[in-house]
Structure 1
Amino acid sequence: MSSIPGLRGLILAAAAAVITSAGAVVVMMEPADATRKITGTVESAPGLAWTVDAAATNGNTTSEFRDPVAGTEYDVGSPGFIDAGDTLVTVLGASNGNMPLRDPMMVGINAATGAVRWRAPAAHLDGCARTPVDGRVVCFVAPSTDPPALVCYDIASGKVTRTPTDWQIFALATADNRVYAAEGDVESDDVRVHAGTLADPAADWTRSFAMGTSWESVSTDALDVSHGQGLLTLGAQLAGFDLGTGAPTWTSDLAGCARTAATSAALVVRINADCTGGTTGTDLLDRTGHVLASSDGKVAQSLSIDRPTDDTIPVLLADGAHDRHTGNLVWTSPDLRTKTDNGNAISGTATAILGDLALLRDDAARTMTGLDMRTGHRLWQIKTERSGTVTAWDRSVVVQSDYTGLWAIDPKTGSPVWDIPFLAVDKTPDALNGNGQLTAHDNGRYTYAAAHTMIGLRPIDH
């Protein structure tokens, strides 16, 4: 009997694929020619590995990507995703103003190829934790919508599991495979924080806190456990607690329109401000609530990335840097302050702490500066008309974004490295914009999510 030409080869190839399925998956996920050069970019720029269109993926022309951390009960979140390694977990739903997203779905996307791995219903979620636990994205439902529960999405399969609870959870955080849940009636100063597992979220400890605020004032980041201590913020009240035992360690009030920022290791920067927008001073609080250092300078620094090398790098307060252990002033720099465009107010210039370097942007002078965080010495300064948000740092280049695109500089010198205009990636004007989330992965790979489009960038093999 004669055989069809090539059939035997196809059969053998199919058999080999079955026998070495893991290798076949790798080949399918990362084909040699999958990444294309983006027109007009320099050789050092990453190429476009994949694109995912929100409308096409969800079968609805009004669907958009949303960061799961903000939940789906109200459409108040921005585009984004939870980085779970090989899988990016995002929400797809139809925008509906401030009302709930219509028909929201939690979606798992292959980080290497952009392929949709799974999708699962995601209605009435009040919020999700940024960091997965035990291979699952952890969310919560408050009793105002559905029966209260922790709702978990398996990162590999999308399988949904629910842990019912009678709590009125208003904030959720995770760290080191532990779940922290804050619940209670904030308007009656009747609040508890629990720590435990997905199956038993109170397995480790439960602590009560006599503090509260109005429901409208509860923020998605009311509970922070990512900087070496627990920090609960409700309205004008702060409470620190030990992550291991839940024991309250200190309390403080935020006068006027003060705000806080947590930093390592277990430190809190309290920015004191009046309610007309003016800064009146800054305090550095240690893990006991003791004021390590204070500055009466009318300058506040606002960092989009805060990743010091270690605790030998000082903390910026106003126009100076203070030791993280003693609070002693280490150095000051006039580069850390500038006048606003109207010349009537002073503002801080620091935008990021990158290891042992501070990145500064002075919009009035149209300059960008690199400061040595150990000495305060200016390492470089460049003139630039372009002003964007510092969105990612992979310890090689720092990437900024605005409504026109993404661009990278060498933080050691300020020299430009690459520039990727959004219109070079997709000529549709609204496909990509500056109101998105950029995450740097290993080996020069990036993921950027805008409302309508998500893209994967990675180095081109030459």
Structure 2
Amino acid sequence: MRLAPGVRGLVLAAVAAVVTSAGAAAVLLTPPDSLRKITGTDAAAPGLAWSLDAAALSGRSFAEFRSPVDATGINLGSAGFVTAGDTLVTVVGVSTDDSVALRDAVMYGIDAATGQVSWQAPADGLGGCAAVPLDSELLCFADTTSGPRDLIGYDLADGAVTRTPVPWQPFALAVAGDRLFVAEGDVESDDVRVHSGTRADPDGSWTRAFALGTAWEDLGDALDVTHGQGLLALGADLAGFDLDTGAPTWTARLEECSRVTTTTPALVERIRTRCDGYRVTGVDLLDRTGSVIAATDHGAPHSLVVDAPTDDSIPVLIADTAYDRRDGTVRWTNPDLLYTAADHEDTPTEYGTAVAVLGDLAVLSDPRTATTSGLDLRTGETRWRVPTERQGTVALRDGDDIVFTDAAGLWSVDAHTGKTHWDIPFRAVNPDPDAFSGPSALAATGTDHLTLATARTMIGLRPFD
């Protein structure tokens, strides 16, 4: 199927308060400032500050929370929100099998501390939004197959919508610092441009053309500006560019089924992968000039859910080796970074164990030994190793804690010792077994607040004073 440009690959029973904004009602299922202890949790666990249900909020059955970053013109998104100071911005729409689009999509601004809805605005037909705001607006672009070619700004204070017509066919949009970046053109004709400016003047800073392209159905996360350089990734074509001027700095190709990941400062990992069996054959580390500063034929990359190194003194992990981010030299090796398991063809295959980089700590998950470890990234020494009874996903580092999530709940591990600090079962928050089902998004919002979103439910957590 040919996908259109811009397509891209969160309560309890009683209603406690009704908040009216922009002429519409919103249902908050726990009252504001009613922090309550979650049954069965210990004293260290944060309490439930508020909880929202997507269907109750919108008044529509089958409504779900969606990340504004994803398109609403086609229902391929996942639960989530954009954090903007004390405001959370999320989309609620109806997800059913008989609709290609996310129907009746509405953008909501929610107070991160209380869960109260500050505003709401229409969000049908969006091609996607930036992951961070710019100039007190969340910036989005229209799905150009279903309406005008507009850039759309949602005011974070009141949800007021401002549309800026553009003579282009945008397919990606991003924000870095005080600048907007828009990628547009016909990717199937290798006719692509990137513009930099503001919502009102989107090409006011510069425009650059790139002879890159791919099929629309192969268009993924095409534009990245979050790691100190611009990166266009269109199918097998890669191009780096300077954020200040747009000047192209390098180009590269992905062979067969290879892929890329990005990391600070302006580094790209090219993961060489064969289409036959989707077997990884090695990894190249490219600097901001496109030069390969480190390479290995070891087929064991790491899949980092969180990649947040302290600074460029923290090495990059490839297979069992740590490479300096600045020049690619080897800093140290540690065999705990690898484990061996049989693949789908029962062939012994090595895999990377690192699942997160948090400051100067790497979190390792080894299913072979059923352990989770904390690895000092400056020395390569293991700080702690604990038995793992549940395989969760690292969501974030909150002060001295590492927060994990899985289908059953949230729990926090001390980053210095690996000891479990607190545990919150989802069924203790809401007895409905489906309230927290599916993928989730977790973020630190405000001072000591956590927000979790799943498709049906969004909650706010904060510690007791």
Q: TM-score scaled to structure 2, two decimals?
A: 0.91
1:427 paired to 2:428: no
Q: What residue number does 2:96 align with?
A: 96
Query: Which residue of the other structure, out of 385, 390, 402, is the alignment partner of 1:386?
Result: 390
Which deviations, in whole Å up to 9, do the C-alpha atoms of 1:354-375 show, x marking residues without a partner? 1111110011210111111011
Q: Secondary structure at the match of 1:69?
A: coil
The 2-side partners of 1:341 and 1:423 are apart by 35
> Does the CA-based 8 Å contact 2:121-2:160 persist in structure 1?
yes
Q: How many residues are aligned here?
A: 430
1:129 paired to 2:130: yes
1:358 paired to 2:359: no
- 5+ residue gaps, structure 1: 1-28
Q: What residue number does 2:323 align with?
A: 322
The 2-side partners of 1:64 and 1:157 are apart by 22
The 1-side partners of 2:342 and 2:429 are apart by 33
Alignment-mate amino acid for residue 38 of structure 1: I
Q: What residue number does 2:414 align with?
A: 410
> Does the CA-based 8 Å contact 2:127-2:144 persist in structure 1?
no
Q: Secondary structure at the match of 2:282?
A: strand
Q: What residue number does 1:254 align with?
A: 254
C-alpha displacement of 1:88 = 0.6
> Does the CA-based 8 Å contact 1:394-1:441 persist in structure 2?
no
Q: What residue number does 1:444 align with?
A: 448
1:373 paired to 2:377: yes
> Does the CA-based 8 Å contact 2:113-2:446 persist in structure 1?
no
Q: What residue number does 2:222 align with?
A: 222
C-alpha displacement of 1:413 = 1.2
The 2-side partners of 1:289 and 1:64 are apart by 41
Alignment-mate amino acid for residue 374 of structure 2: G
Q: Secondary structure at the match of 2:69?
A: helix
Q: Secondary structure at the match of 1:68?
A: coil
Q: What residue number does 1:46 align with?
A: 46
> Does the CA-based 8 Å contact 1:140-1:151 persist in structure 2?
yes
The 2-side partners of 1:215 and 1:245 are apart by 27
Matches within 5 A, 1:46-445: 46-97=46-97, 99-219=100-220, 221-275=221-275, 276-340=277-341, 344-433=348-437, 435-445=439-449
The 2-side partners of 1:204 and 1:395 are apart by 38
C-alpha displacement of 1:340 = 2.7
The 1-side partners of 2:396 and 2:314 are apart by 20
The 2-side partners of 1:288 and 1:78 are apart by 34
C-alpha displacement of 1:426 = 0.3
> Does the CA-based 8 Å contact 2:283-2:297 persist in structure 1?
yes
Alignment-mate amino acid for residue 456 of structure 1: G
Bigger-Rg structure (1/2): 1
Q: Secondary structure at the match of 2:278?
A: coil
Alignment-mate amino acid for residue 75 of structure 1: N
Q: Secondary structure at the match of 2:55?
A: helix
Change (3 A) 1:144 1:199: same
> Does the CA-based 8 Å contact 2:73-2:143 persist in structure 1?
no
Segment drifting more, 93-102 vs 297-306: 93-102
Flag the structure with more relative contact order, 1 or 2, with Cα contacts below 8 A and sequence separation at least 6.
Answer: 2
The 2-side partners of 1:456 and 1:395 are apart by 17
Which deviations, in whole Å up to 9, do the C-alpha atoms of 1:326-346 show, x marking residues without a partner? 110111111111123667221
> Does the CA-based 8 Å contact 1:402-1:433 persist in structure 2?
no
Alignment-mate amino acid for residue 421 of structure 2: V
Matches within 5 A, 1:31-42: 31=33, 34-42=34-42
The 2-side partners of 1:455 and 1:73 are apart by 26
Percent identical among aligned pairs is 55
Q: Secondary structure at the match of 2:106?
A: strand
C-alpha displacement of 1:78 = 0.6
Q: Secondary structure at the match of 1:57?
A: helix
Moved over 2 A (4+): 340-344, 441-444
> Does the CA-based 8 Å contact 2:438-2:455 persist in structure 1?
no
C-alpha displacement of 1:410 = 0.9
> Does the CA-based 8 Å contact 1:341-1:364 persist in structure 2?
no
The 2-side partners of 1:423 and 1:134 are apart by 40
C-alpha displacement of 1:385 = 2.1
C-alpha displacement of 1:30 = 6.7
Q: Secondary structure at the match of 2:428?
A: helix
C-alpha displacement of 1:442 = 4.3
> Does the CA-based 8 Å contact 1:422-1:433 persist in structure 2?
no
